[in-house]
Structure 1
Amino acid sequence: MVVARAGGKRKKVNKSRLYLYTGLLAVFLIVMAPLFFRYGLPLIKSGFSWTEAEQYHNLKNFGVPIPSGYKTHGIDVSHHQGRINWAEVAAMEVNGIRISFAFLKATEGITRQDRQFQRNWEKAGAAGMMRGAYHFFHPSRDAAKQAENFIRQVKLKPGDLPPVLDIEVSNRRSKKEIVEGAQEWCRLVEEHYGVKPIIYTSPGYYDKYLADDFKDYPLWIAHYHEDLPRMHHRRWQFWQHTDKATINGIKGEVDLNVFNGSLSKLRKLCIE
């Protein structure tokens, strides 16, 4: 037993109870400290109120300027983003903007599969995200085998976005070789899924290699930190406008995109 003075009288204090309360306080602090540093401290630094802190999905903005005039926004990811919390991605809303769609890397070349693809595909779908899959194309590798690699990994269903050919390297191949390989991949993939693939590339690559032969394909253009992509000579469907976005549920920076149309129009682009 120990004694303490209270109100001029001597009061007995149970030593074991004191240890119990001290231990409970220590456990509470250990549990709450990570939450404080994750949510509380950033809010204090940024001037947010504690009322806003309760809405933790809104703690982050996108971290980059958002192009005006577009209502349908999405991301594209690969294993570089690690394990994504897709429920947080789907719940995020900043100034009325939500993430409506996601393109996920599935395959590359003839042998590579993205190690996070299957998890991302399942979790994004479970979170209600409109999803699509893309293949990183190497003109130096057999186009038919690259198509087979993609088809083996990606099982598209009604409501999914069309497959995507990500073509942005030349591998020291001629324009003729690049075009023939890309056309072969697109032909085989379209035959399998019954829908024309989307072409992802940069303005410079499109103009140099693809402009003469892929005018009828939906275009996803990558052109960063500009008011508009440099593609005034033809219509585009998607624009990847930054690779520096901040998204709830994802560690590190993320590619952010807009769709050139309404959400209902995007749904019409999906597989039926």
Structure 2
Amino acid sequence: MDSKVKALAVLAALSVTTLALLLVWYTNGSGKIGGGSGVAATESVPAQPEANGYRDFLKDDTFFDPETKSSVLMETKEITPRLYMQADSVMKDIRVCITGEDGTPVKGYSFYINIDGLGEFKDLDKDGMIYVPDLKAGDYFVQLENEPGFVVPDEPMRVAVRDQLEYEVIGDISLYIHSEDEIDEAAEDTEIPGASDDTDETEVKTKWEGTDAAFGIDVSKWQKEIDWQKVADSGVDFAIIRCGYRGSSSGYLIEDKCFKKNLEGAKAAGIKVGVYFFSQAVSEVEAVEEASMVVTLLDGAKLDYPIFIDTESAGGNGRADGLNAADRTAVLKAFCETIDNSGYHSGIYASRCWYYERLNDGELTDITHWVAEYRKNPLYKGEFALWQYTSSGVIDGINTRVDLDLVWNGN
């Protein structure tokens, strides 16, 4: 046999051997043909736990269950509250309210905002609100700065600052209304009866008899619990109910704690109702805020009598006590125009002296007047629809002194 033949023979033998080895490997590895050798079986053992683990994973009914929480994830997951901004402009100003996810102001933190071109502004009283006045009209971008423990908005908010005042209800005013639980009532609710110096010995302190005028009362939280059915049975036709006031110190908008209960109680007893608000506004902008608060609190409730702005002293130290007649008159007009534009009817409450000395009454003749003057024959010479003739009345169903009023022709 020559060398060429020998080489072919060796190559053929190697091919057969390789084929045989492949056949053995395939048979033992697949587990489909025969039992295989002990060595092959030993090499396949490590694969068994893998297969079992995979099958166990498939049998885990809770793996894809969204209700099942990983205890490890629950322990390590940190929930960071998110902050939001609401901002708008009434006139030449920016009002910013920082709220949580529930939409209410976040209080107790010294938040900072940055207004492009103007710099930083701080929430000094930590009430979640920042007011920036005296701005030029135009577009501004407001950014809430980082506050430890919170997630703040990534992008600034664009605010269009108005140049002219619009006598319309402010849509987000509810964010700025405080309850009496949040304030110092003794410092904020310091209203002094407007006609305390406009009275004489002829003052009548009982129900007025012998007239075709409708008989009414005006009430607030100071009358405490009222039995409205007894009030109605005593002959009361109408009630003017205080819905709130502006704090004479802080300037906060504050809801009278008894307003809703009194409004519902009077209506249920068949008594006609109107509303009044004790003002401490020092500008037309604040007057629009006050009117907006009243309309918001009413939430569409039907009234039989006007919404009155009550202008009188807050003890001499109230924030609006020092206004001159022109500025105070402008406040009243702004309040009343906003109320009228909302669909309700407006009016002004003041004593005879205030109409004469603290207001430019000649500019207010087209607005319903409610005059406080405690004498049998009032000296006020202008036209008025309502007359508060005493603050010392006694009515069944009310355990305190109460203001008594008349409306001619019940209108």
Q: TM-score range by the shorter chain?
A: 0.5 to 0.7
Which of residues 319, 322, 325 is equivalent to 1:172?
322
- Give the one of 381, 385, 389 matched to 1:241: 389
Distance in 1 (alpha carbons) for counterparts of 2:344 and 2:274: 15
Q: Which residue, out of 271, 275, 294, partners 1:150? A: 294
Identify the residue that residue 229 of structure 1 maps to in structure 2. 378
Q: Say which structure is richer in helix.
A: 1
- Structure 1 window deviating more from structure 2 (185-194 vs 98-107): it is 185-194
Residue 181 of structure 1 pairs with residue 331 of structure 2: yes
Distance 1:201 1:71 in 2: 20
Q: Which residue of 2 aligns with 1:54?
A: none
The residue that corresponds to 1:101 in the other structure is 238
TM-score between the two structures when normalised by the length of structure 2: 0.45
- The aligned residue for residue 347 of structure 2 is 198
User: With structure 1 as the length reference, what TM-score do the two structures score?
Assistant: 0.67
Structure with the larger RCO, 1 or 2 (CA within 8 Å, 6+ apart)? 1
Letter matched to residue 230 of structure 1? L
**8 Å contact 2:306–2:344 — kept in the other structure?**
no
Which amino acid in the other structure matches residue 154 of structure 1? L
Amino acid at match of 1:258: L
- SS of the aligned residue for 1:138 comes to coil
Change (3 A) 1:115 1:194: closer
1:124-143 equivalences under 5 Å are 124-140=266-282, 142-143=286-287
CA-atom RMSD, angstroms?
1.9
Q: CA deviation at 1:230?
A: 1.5
- 1:222 and 1:241 in contact (8 A); partners too: yes
Instruction: Return the offset for 1:107.
Output: 1.3
Structure number with larger C-alpha Rg: 2
- Is the Cα–Cα contact under 8 Å of residues 387 and 407 in structure 2 kept in the other structure? yes
212, 222, 227: which one pairs with 1:80?
Answer: 222
* Aligned amino acid, residue 291 of structure 2: A
Whether the 8 Å contact between 1:240 and 1:255 is mirrored in structure 2 is: yes
Alignment coverage as a number of residue pairs:
194
Shift of 1:158: 4.4
Question: How far 1:167 sits from its partner (Å)?
Answer: 1.2
Aligned to 1:43: none
* Cα distance in 2 between the residues matched to 1:138 and 1:70: 35
Cα gap change, 1:253 to 1:166, in 2 (>3 Å):
same
Letter in 2 for 1:143: A
After superposition, the Cα gap between the structure-2 partners of 1:103 and 1:74, relative to the gap in structure 1 and judged at 3 Å, is same
Cα distance in 1, alignment partners of residues 300 and 329 from structure 2? 25
Alpha-carbon distance between aligned partners in 1 of 2:344 and 2:370, rounded to the nearest angstrom: 19
CA offsets 1:29-51 (integer angstroms, 9 cap, x no match): xxxxxxxxxxxxxxxxxxxxxxx
Q: Which one is further off, 100-109 or 201-210?
A: 201-210
Instruction: Tell me the alpha carbon deviations over residues 188-207 of structure 1, each in whole angstroms, 9 at most, x when there is no partner.
Output: 11101243x11110111111
Partner-residue secondary structure (3-state), 2:237: strand
* 1:210 equivalent in structure 2: 360
Which whole-Å CA distance do the structure 2 matches of 1:66 and 1:119 have between them?
A: 27
